[in-house]
Amino acid sequence: MIIAIDGPAGTGKSTIAKMLAEKLNITFLNSGGFYRTLTMAVLDAGVDYKDEKATLEFCKKQKIEYTKEGHFILNGTDVTAHLHDDRITANTSQVSAIVEIRHLVNDLMREITKSLSIVCEGRDMTTVVFPNAEVKVYLDASAEVRAQRRFDQGVSDMTFEEIKAAIEKRDEMDKNKKEGSLKIAKDALYIDTSNLTIDNVCAIIEKQIS
Ligand code: DC
């Protein structure tokens, strides 16, 4: 079974997908983490991602492993704890906009999850990567609410206003990608999470599964 969840940053996708995967005892797939891991590799190596060809060639040589616990191993090192650093968050949309890099990541994710039951989340899980998913959900919330959630997580050094502006910039980039742009799939259940708790959202999705 594939449960696919898409939506913009700060809608609770990862927390919800992880909780559902634990409850159902199936694999959690965090697609943004693959793009974040590649972005870290690109930045650390000083590769200029505006040079798409060079970036793709570099990314092809990186070894990414994804553990059962949802950790990302880049060339043998567990990088999970640093994937939400501001410098990675600020540059991942640009790296993930490179079409060939999307194909690389999509192939890797499909390979890792083939013959597994999964709960996956991202921007194009319901539309591009797993269009035949049995359950499709689109999570949404206002930019104000999403920025407040990120601010409350305390993982960023930015002010609330800076976080809100960064979220709006990422929304814009994520919705305008050549491929894999953020869209609401026709057959997805749309949930506005602005006034819902994580448990409320999980309960709505669980109802959809049963
Ligand atoms: O979900 P996240 O915030 O960890 O995603 C990080 C970035 O990766 C985000 O800017 C959009 C991009 N992304 C994407 O393009 N496609 C996905 N399926 C998941 C994430």
The pLDDT tens digits for 149-190 are: 999 988 888 999 999 999 999 999 999 999 999 999 999 999
> Ligand 1 within 6 A of 150 CB?
no
pLDDT score at 155: 82
| Percent of the chain residues past pLDDT 90, beyond the cut | 94
pLDDT score at 156: 85
What gap in Å lies between CA 153 and CA 172, rounded to an integer? 23
Annotated binding site for ATP: 7-15
Which atom belonging to ligand 1 lies closest to the Cα atom of 97?
15
What gap in Å lies between CA 4 and CA 137, rounded to an integer? 6
Confidence of residue 47 (pLDDT cuts 50, 70, 90): very high
What gap in Å lies between CA 151 and CA 45, rounded to an integer? 29
To the question of pTM greater than 0.85 for the whole model, the response is yes
Q: How far is the CA of 166 from the centre of ligand 1 (A)?
A: 14
pLDDT score at 25: 96
Counting Cβ atoms within 10 Å, is residue 46 exposed (0-12), middle (13-18) or buried (19+)?
exposed
Between helices 143-153 and 160-175, what is the axis angle to 10°?
120
pLDDT score at 58: 98
Mean pLDDT across 83-88: 95
| The token pair that represents 68 in the structure block | 């059962």
> Ligand 1 within 6 A of 174 CB?
yes
Mean pLDDT across 91-103: 96
pLDDT surpassing 90 at residue 108? yes
pLDDT surpassing 90 at residue 109? yes
Q: Where along the chain do its domains lie?
A: 2-204
Asked if the 2-204 domain carries CATH number 3.40.50.300, the reply is yes
Q: Are 137 and 127 in contact (CB under 8 A)?
A: no
pLDDT score at 198: 96
Mean pLDDT across 110-123: 95
CA 83 to chain centroid: 11
pLDDT score at 117: 95
> Ligand 1 within 6 A of 32 CB?
yes
